[in-house]
Structure 1
Amino acid sequence: MLNEIVEINRRHTSNGNVASYIPDLGKACKEDLGICIIDKDNKIYTAGEYDTKFTIQSVSKPIVLAMALMDNDWSHVFSKVGMEPSGDPFNSIMKLEMNDTKKPCNPMINAGAIVTTSLIKGDSVEEKEERMLNFFRKIAKNDKLSINYDVYNSEKRTGDRNRAMAYLLKNDGFIEGDVEEVLDLYFKQCSIEIDTVDLARIGTNLATYGVDIETGERVLSESVSRMVKTFMVTCGMYDASGEFAIRVGIPAKSGVGGGILASVPNRMGIGVYGPSLDKKGNSIAGLRVLEDLSRMLKLNIF
């Protein structure tokens, strides 16, 4: 079934484009499309270019949000970032000036994600980076996850819009500490290299409300898992989140590297890769794959 879904939807890759504003992302193969599902019984199903490596980009945001919620009182986190969908592109600066509080609308847009990254605990930049990377490795069950430094350097060279946001957030009191250190950690989190199996494993850990299905170890609290999935539903697909909730109906988070992380509560985790993007920054064929999958397996949580 997965092979059929992937091959039927591969044609849609021609209707989008790979991200090019970060130069190293432009090297991806536009026609690639792959998927991995890991169900609650730990059975793994794959199709297409499921093992192609790519950088996690904005799919990192719910994972770092989970860290921020575990490191801080929730009241402190949400004093610095909101809980509402923005309705604007993921890299918009407009509402930082226009809304009454000047607070980022939610942790899934760039401004909000930079704030949550700044909330990771550690006595040094190096300790924060180590903690972050170890948490990604733990929730993905892959000790080999690492940062793609070519992409990191590419992001750092071209990240002026994120830099502008961060300094505005610092000016308004939403970021503490050194802005460049926060940005450096943010660029590194976005440059972690993964594949769809890693994403599916993360999705499975969210689907089971934080309990590793193999070991029974709790990797996330139930309350944090619920909060993260809720943000994925309301804000995870950029300014297409409402349409995605109607057409697909499962918690998901996309990234401009072409990845989509999806989690079906109590059922499965899903990782999708398709670097050809629509105008809103979502995998154009990956969205079709998830729509077909949701319809065929009746995954819609609503």
Structure 2
Amino acid sequence: MQCRSSEELMSFVQEAKTMTQYGKVANYIPALGKAHPNDLAIAIQYPDGISFSAGDIQKRFTLQSISKVISLALVLMDRGSEYVFERVGMEPTGDPFNSIAKLETMAPSKPLNPMINAGALVVTHMLVGQSVEDRFQRLLTFTQELANDTTIGYCKDVAQSEFETAHLNRSLSYFLKQHQIIDEDVEELIDLYTKQCAIEMNTLNLARVGMIFAMDGNDPLTGKQLMSADVARICKTFMVTCGMYNASGEFAIKIGIPAKSGVSGGIMGAVPCKFGVGVFGPSLDEKGNSIAGVHLLESLSKTYHLSMF
């Protein structure tokens, strides 16, 4: 059972839009506070090339924490899983995504997983290249390949806004540097990380990226294997266990697909061996997830029996 038309999707969007009034946009990053809270869009990309979409689908938004999945995939391809997981763990945490608490109590002081900010900073630190620009360009090129869109770039205003307000991420980075988990200049790492988070696309692009993960790293529309099936499997597992911040367990029970959210209001879903989903709804719940986006995905999951569990 699957969605058969954009009109069908639109009915779900209209119903879910009633939820936007109960959330609020992320204004702790000033540039993100400019988003319109009532926006809501969804796109679904099937491996046979058919796609359906509804809502404000052409609006571009920054990936924020969704970029953590893409950087993890690239670093796993470059470094191998043994290298990566010597430096960052595999366990979910019930703490907020920007918490420093577990770093202080763990020995060694490596982050619990790559989806919390501390872990994502370690992963970004592992990106290969001679300079911040080299490393970012490599990540951006990989993102463009996943989305099959060379026009994808990053929002300089959001990157600058995040760089200027990234005091907690700087604190996490200095803590990690003190414990020899990272060894680069913190300002350079924050520069790279904020650019990574500011990579910008629309829901159609995001659904296409989700489809690559859903299809075990293969792009059936170009015939390219963009990552190994094992790398895709690892990323999807983290999306299930840690992808929706500290609401990941509830999301797994109610919706049951690998997904990753970002505080710009994006959600990328990967329904294994079926299709990719891109959602954008900047009004967030108290956990930092799109309040209407989660509601929309829950309705779709119940209607089309999407849960993998």
**TM tier relative to shorter chain:** over 0.9
Q: TM-score, normalised by structure 2?
A: 0.96
Partner of 1:11: 18
When structure 1 is superposed on structure 2, of 122-131 and 58-67 the one drifting more is 122-131
Report the residue type matching 1:204 in the other structure. M
Question: What 5-or-longer segments of structure 1 have no aligned partner?
Answer: none
Partner of 1:158: 165
Partner of 2:218: 211
Quote the RMSD (CA, aligned, Å): 0.8
SS at match of 1:188: helix
Query: How is 1:278-297 mapped onto 2 (pairs within 5 angstroms)?
Result: 278-297=285-304
1:220 to 213, 218, 227: 227
Query: How is 1:251-290 mapped onto 2 (pairs within 5 angstroms)?
Result: 251-290=258-297
Partner of 1:21: 28
Provide, for residues 135-186 of structure 1, a one-character-per-residue CA deviation record: whole Å limited to 9, x for no partner: 1111111100111000011000100000100110111111122221111110
Report the residue type matching 2:49 in the other structure. N
Partner of 2:189: 182
- The CA deviation at 1:126 is 1.8
Displaced runs of 4 or more, over 2 A? none
**Whole-angstrom CA distance in 2 between matches of 1:126 and 1:287:** 35
**Whole-angstrom CA distance in 2 between matches of 1:101 and 1:278:** 33
2:88 to 56, 67, 81: 81
**Whole-angstrom CA distance in 1 between matches of 2:172 and 2:110:** 11
Partner of 2:61: 54
Provide, for residues 179-213 of structure 1, a one-character-per-residue CA deviation record: whole Å limited to 9, x for no partner: 21111110000001111011100001111111111
Report the residue type matching 2:144 in the other structure. R
Report the residue type matching 2:131 in the other structure. S
Report the residue type matching 1:292 in the other structure. S
**Whole-angstrom CA distance in 2 between matches of 1:86 and 1:113:** 14
Partner of 1:2: 9
Report the residue type matching 1:289 in the other structure. L
In the alignment, does 2:47 pair up with 1:40?
yes
In the alignment, does 2:252 pair up with 1:245?
yes
Report the residue type matching 1:294 in the other structure. S
Report the residue type matching 1:180 in the other structure. E
Provide, for residues 21-54 of structure 1, a one-character-per-residue CA deviation record: whole Å limited to 9, x for no partner: 0000000000000000001211110001122111
Contact 2:47–2:221 (Cα < 8 Å) also in 1? no
SS at match of 1:263: strand
**Whole-angstrom CA distance in 2 between matches of 1:137 and 1:155:** 22
1:101 to 102, 105, 108: 108
- The CA deviation at 1:73 is 2.6
Partner of 1:199: 206
SS at match of 2:260: strand
SS at match of 1:36: strand
Provide, for residues 86-127 of structure 1, a one-character-per-residue CA deviation record: whole Å limited to 9, x for no partner: 111111111110123221110001000000000011122221
Partner of 1:139: 146
**Whole-angstrom CA distance in 1 between matches of 2:80 and 2:31:** 37
- The CA deviation at 1:3 is 0.5
SS at match of 1:260: strand
In the alignment, does 2:290 pair up with 1:298?
no
**Whole-angstrom CA distance in 2 between matches of 1:110 and 1:163:** 11
- The CA deviation at 1:76 is 1.3
Report the residue type matching 1:37 in the other structure. I
Report the residue type matching 1:234 in the other structure. T
**Whole-angstrom CA distance in 2 between matches of 1:232 and 1:168:** 26
- The CA deviation at 1:5 is 0.5
Contact 2:156–2:198 (Cα < 8 Å) also in 1? yes
Question: What 5-or-longer segments of structure 2 have no aligned partner?
Answer: 1-7
**Whole-angstrom CA distance in 1 between matches of 2:210 and 2:237:** 13
Report the residue type matching 2:248 in the other structure. S
